Chain A
Amino acid sequence: MNKMPVIIIGAFLTFLSSWIGLVAYPYLQLGRFTPFTSEDTGDINPPPLSGMAVTGQRVYGSSGCIYCHSQQVRQVGYGSDLERGWGARPTVARDYMRENPAFLGTMRTGPDLTNIGARQPSVMWHHQHLYQPGTVSPGSIMPSYRYLYRLQKIEGQRSANAIDLLPPDNPPDGYEVVPTYEAEALVAYLLSLNRNYPLPEAPEPPQ
């Protein structure tokens, strides 16, 4: 192989084949979905995210949640995702059409979060868990996200959004822990994660 053009053209063409197969074609097939409107209920799925949840999605990305948590319920025969109750049905490509980026994830040091909003619908639980994961979920090695919270002196009445904490992380007397805007947004995003709605191409959720 002493001819440069052979190497250049060959390298170009082999790579082009994968570019067409794994970039261009997926873009055409999976990158141009429209939401599905149910004729019976009028529901639009996947539902749009609130502004707060979109901000929370950014916090999820900048905090690197994906390095321990996936967001995909695999098909039957691939692991025990459904048996663990991580979702009523496997996820399909259209579930992610509003996600930017799509946090599919590659690691399960922590459980899958595809439907965490359905599994844990309590705002307070999420704040407690983000602040003191080991206390709420014994054995967990999730780090505390207390840098997303503020310790402040109670002025008059305790703030409505102050979070209830267990020892040893509870604030000293006369003080309270309140979420920052970022923490509120992150929890709004986590609560929005519920992909158990029906889509025509997705298997029916078992009743």
Chain B
Amino acid sequence: MSATTTAHSSTAAPAMDKAERARIDESTRVPVLLFFGSAVFWLLVGTLFALLASFKMNAPHLLDQWGWLTFGRVRPAHLNAVAYGWASSAAIGTSLWLMARLCRTPLRHSKLLICAAIFWNIGVLLGIFGILSGDSRSIEWLEFPNYASLMLFVAFGLIAVWAVIMFRFRQPGHVYVSQWYLLAAFIWFPWLYSTANILLNFEPIQGGAQGAVNWWYGHNALGLWFTPIGLAAAYYFIPKVLGRPIHSYYLSILGFWSLALFYSWNGMHHLIGGPFPAWMVSASVVASIMMFIPVITTAINHHMTVRGNFGALKWSPTLRFTVFGAMCYTLASVQGSFMAIPLLNKITHFTHYTVGHAHLGLYAFFTMIMFGSMYYIMPRVVGWEWPSARLIRWHFWLVAIGIGVMVVALTIGGILQGLALLDPGITFMASLDYTKPWLFLRSGSGILLTAGHIVFATSFTLLLLKAGTRREGPTLFGTDQGREPEPIAP
């Protein structure tokens, strides 16, 4: 664990010793486990909905006798289960642990967080139930009925209050780059979520303006909630595992502020060609292209940190998942910038290409980093190592291949669909026919992902049950085959 100080590089404060770290980790146990446990539960639920929705596109007659399970309800149930149930819970759990570690102080007032976790889960449960029973208004990313979104907002309010308290009690000294991202995300999300829900669901504004607010929310939920937390985790775990500092402090600053400024203006690129004033759409297209700055800055910073140590990906689960995620962040963002260029947007708009892009962002980038974070955090809060390196390896390859196949299938299917839609000489039905084989392939990739999630949930449960024999060191790839890991920190 010689890497402890690297995440606080150039710090004036003294490094924490092992006992203090253990004390801090232990203080986070109950809330972190509550959020992680519910995250894994919702991941399985969301995956099941995804699989059903995908199968329904291959076989439209499947379970069509029940309104509860019609495609138009199962699809938003999937999105909301994974966005609010899985991704947000995993993000909150990771943030709590990171904050306690980076503030170098045991977690205080954990009752606030336990209440928040309970409220959050009731909110997601009510929301999914509401969508399936027909209470959704079909506003993308905001399908939860008001009774559910109110619960989420209360839960988030409690977490935000807690975050302020934590920062007040932090040890003096350097504020690490991960903390900037976490703090900003905790300011942005409640503002974003409340504004959008009030204007679209509680006191809806006129329809002509709703699309703008909808996509201001939809894009910022990714850009200013999931992305900063994913980056905060990457900025922490990459240097931590490798035992070396982040390449450049100044690139970190540039990356952070350019993300804050440009990402927030991206949303209207979802409405290119639509019934909106040209200036609004243009502003978002420009901001989308300016996203090259934070993305390339962060990519260089991460790459230069790992450079020379790519061998560590062979044995560290945390590093392998996190670096995979960080690379996909670059890919998804560069792809997103190109998709905003009107010339290319004409092809990809309204097609499965966009669905592929969304999965590249929320899964290949964000979810993979959350898996990596959990592999690091869980043993430290439970006091037990992961029971099997083999299960972790299966998890990685199933989901890495699964998401790869899915993105490729939807990208090719989407381009064929988009080119066909552009050409008025091709019938609409032909544009649909082009997508069909690729939608089958997508279902196949969904089966791989489902299998991966079941492996992960099994591994997670075994760890909670402290199954197996006590291990001396962390569970690394290769150690179960008698190989010695390279001598750097776990």
Report whether chain A binds chain B: yes
Residue ranges of A at the interface with B (Cβ–Cβ < 8 Å): 1-4, 7-8, 10-12, 14-15, 17-19, 21-23, 26-27, 29-33, 58, 60-68, 70, 72, 74-75, 77-80, 83-84, 90-109, 111, 133-134, 137-148
Beyond the given A1-B175, A11-B187, A64-B72, please list 17 additional residue pairs across the A-B interface where CB-CB is below 8 A.
Answer: A14-B264, A18-B264, A19-B191, A23-B212, A29-B277, A32-B206, A61-B138, A64-B76, A74-B273, A77-B273, A79-B421, A80-B422, A80-B423, A93-B276, A96-B275, A101-B200, A137-B429
Minimum CB–CB distance from B55 to chain A (whole Å) comes to: 11
Q: Residues of B contacting A29 with CB < 8 Å? A: 209, 277
Which among A23, A83, A103, A145 is the interface contact of B216 at CB below 8 angstroms? A23
Q: How far is the CA of A66 from the CA of B76 in the complex (A)?
A: 11
Q: Residues of A contacting B70 with CB < 8 Å? A: 63-64, 143, 145, 147
Minimum CB–CB distance from A113 to chain B (whole Å) comes to: 12
Q: Residues of A contacting B205 with CB < 8 Å? A: 27, 31
Q: How far is the CA of A10 from the CA of B258 in the complex (A)?
A: 11
Q: Residues of B contacting A4 with CB < 8 Å? A: 167, 175, 183
Inter-subunit contact A100/B138 (CB<8 Å): no
**Nearest A-chain residue to B65, judged by Cβ:** A147
Best-buried of B208, B422, B429 by chain A (most CB within 10 Å): B208
The 10 listed contacts between A and B (C-beta, < 8 Å) are: A29-B277, A62-B137, A63-B70, A72-B275, A78-B272, A80-B421, A93-B277, A104-B214, A109-B57, A139-B429
Q: How far is the CA of A96 from the CA of B268 in the complex (A)?
A: 17
**Stretch of B38-46, B347-355, B359-367 with 4 or more beta carbons under 8 angstroms from chain A:** B347-355
**Nearest A-chain residue to B258, judged by Cβ:** A14
Query: Top 10 nearest A-B pairs by Cβ distance?
Result: A64-B72, A78-B273, A99-B207, A96-B207, A74-B273, A102-B207, A83-B424, A31-B209, A93-B208, A18-B264
Which among B60, B283, B342 is the interface contact of A144 at CB below 8 angstroms? B60
Minimum CB–CB distance from A95 to chain B (whole Å) comes to: 6
Inter-subunit contact A102/B210 (CB<8 Å): yes
Inter-subunit contact B429/A96 (CB<8 Å): no
Q: Residues of A contacting B322 with CB < 8 Å? A: none
Inter-subunit contact A67/B428 (CB<8 Å): no
**Nearest A-chain residue to B56, judged by Cβ:** A143
Q: How far is the CA of A55 from the CA of B349 in the complex (A)?
A: 30
Q: Residues of B contacting A91 with CB < 8 Å? A: 274-275
Is B265 an interface residue, CB under 8 A from the partner?
yes
Is B468 an interface residue, CB under 8 A from the partner?
no
Best-buried of A2, A12, A64 by chain B (most CB within 10 Å): A64
Q: Size of chain B's interface in residues, with CB distance under 8 A?
A: 86
Q: Residues of B contacting A2 with CB < 8 Å? A: 173-175
Which among B66, B207, B257, B267 is the interface contact of A97 at CB below 8 angstroms? B207
Inter-subunit contact B137/A147 (CB<8 Å): no
Q: How far is the CA of A54 from the CA of B33 in the complex (A)?
A: 45
Is B30 an interface residue, CB under 8 A from the partner?
no
Inter-subunit contact A64/B264 (CB<8 Å): no
Is B261 an interface residue, CB under 8 A from the partner?
yes
Q: How far is the CA of A100 from the CA of B137 in the complex (A)?
A: 9
Inter-subunit contact A15/B212 (CB<8 Å): no
Inter-subunit contact B195/A23 (CB<8 Å): yes
Q: How far is the CA of A58 from the CA of B138 in the complex (A)?
A: 9
Q: Residues of A contacting B173 with CB < 8 Å? A: 2
Q: Residues of B contacting A90 with CB < 8 Å? A: 275
**Nearest A-chain residue to B11, judged by Cβ:** A2
Inter-subunit contact B188/A96 (CB<8 Å): no
Q: Residues of A contacting B213 with CB < 8 Å? A: 22-23, 26-27
**Nearest A-chain residue to B272, judged by Cβ:** A78
Best-buried of B173, B257, B273, B436 by chain A (most CB within 10 Å): B273
Is B224 an interface residue, CB under 8 A from the partner?
yes
Given contacts A23-B199, A30-B209, contact A101 B264 (CB under 8 A): no
Inter-subunit contact A84/B257 (CB<8 Å): no
Q: How far is the CA of A121 from the CA of B372 in the complex (A)?
A: 55
Given contacts A101-B210, A143-B71, contact A15 B66 (CB under 8 A): no
Inter-subunit contact A22/B267 (CB<8 Å): yes
Which among B67, B207, B257, B435 is the interface contact of A148 at CB below 8 angstroms? B67
Inter-subunit contact A26/B280 (CB<8 Å): yes
Which of chain B's residues 67-92 have a Cβ closer than 8 Å to chain A?
67, 70-73, 75-76
Is B270 an interface residue, CB under 8 A from the partner?
yes
**Nearest B-chain residue to A81, judged by Cβ:** B273
Given contacts A1-B253, A23-B195, A26-B280, contact A78 B64 (CB under 8 A): no
Is B346 an interface residue, CB under 8 A from the partner?
yes
Q: Residues of A contacting B61 with CB < 8 Å? A: 143-144
Inter-subunit contact B260/A14 (CB<8 Å): yes
Given contacts A19-B195, A145-B70, contact A79 B208 (CB under 8 A): no
Q: Residues of A contacting B76 with CB < 8 Å? A: 64, 67
Q: How far is the CA of A78 from the CA of B352 in the complex (A)?
A: 18
Q: Residues of A contacting B188 with CB < 8 Å? A: 11, 15
Inter-subunit contact A64/B71 (CB<8 Å): yes
Is B271 an interface residue, CB under 8 A from the partner?
yes
Minimum CB–CB distance from B419 to chain A (whole Å) comes to: 11
Q: How far is the CA of A30 from the CA of B421 in the complex (A)?
A: 29
Q: Residues of A contacting B273 with CB < 8 Å? A: 74-75, 77-79
Inter-subunit contact A8/B65 (CB<8 Å): no
Q: How far is the CA of A93 from the CA of B268 in the complex (A)?
A: 14
B 230-273 binary contact with A (CB < 8 Å = 1; else 0) = 00000000000000000000000100010011001101101111
Is B135 an interface residue, CB under 8 A from the partner?
yes
Inter-subunit contact A107/B350 (CB<8 Å): yes
Q: How far is the CA of A18 from the CA of B224 in the complex (A)?
A: 12
Q: How far is the CA of A104 from the CA of B140 in the complex (A)?
A: 10
Q: How far is the CA of A138 from the CA of B275 in the complex (A)?
A: 32
B 434-461 binary contact with A (CB < 8 Å = 1; else 0) = 0110000000000000000000000000
